[in-house]
Amino acid sequence: MQRLMHLLFRARTARGITFILILIAIVGSLLPPKQMEQLTFNLSDKLIHCLYYTGLTFFWIKSTEVPSNRKIIKTALLAFLFGLVLEILQEILPIQRNMDIFDLLANSAGILLAIFSEHFLRVNVK
């Protein structure tokens, strides 16, 4: 288990996971609602946003060789801006989707959860 954790938290592996999660977020956020209904499951939309941005931000932080406080703040801001751009695109593109401020709040909660999780693991798992 420790070997798997070490492998997942290596910067190179984390960069690959981050890239895949970014692609999934772009496609998932910009699909028309009828196609999204076929892909969703019985979790709250806001819970999905929160958990997704937790994972995305966590691996984005881990993709840096040595995560400093400055890099963590920069990553958190980039993750927030990424979510904001996707929400704005949902509003302006003709895909029958609307911007939702509560999605941004759920994304922000996920970003904060990732920061706390990364800090906890960095301090307690060596």
pTM: 0.85
Q: What is the 3-state secondary structure (H, E, C) of the chain?
A: CHHHHHHHHCHHHHHHHHHHHHHHHHHHHHCCHHHHHHHCCCCCHHHHHHHHHHHHHHHHHHCCCCCCHHHHHHHHHHHHHHHHHHHHHHHHCCCCCCCCHHHHHHHHHHHHHHHHHHHHHHHHCC
pLDDT at position 36 is 59
**Tens digits of residue pLDDT in 20-77:** 999 999 998 898 876 555 455 556 889 999 999 999 999 999 998 788 899 999 999 9
**Tens digits of residue pLDDT in 76-103:** 999 999 999 999 999 999 998 899 999 9
Domain extent at residue 94: 2-124
Tally of domains in the chain: 1
pLDDT at position 31 is 85
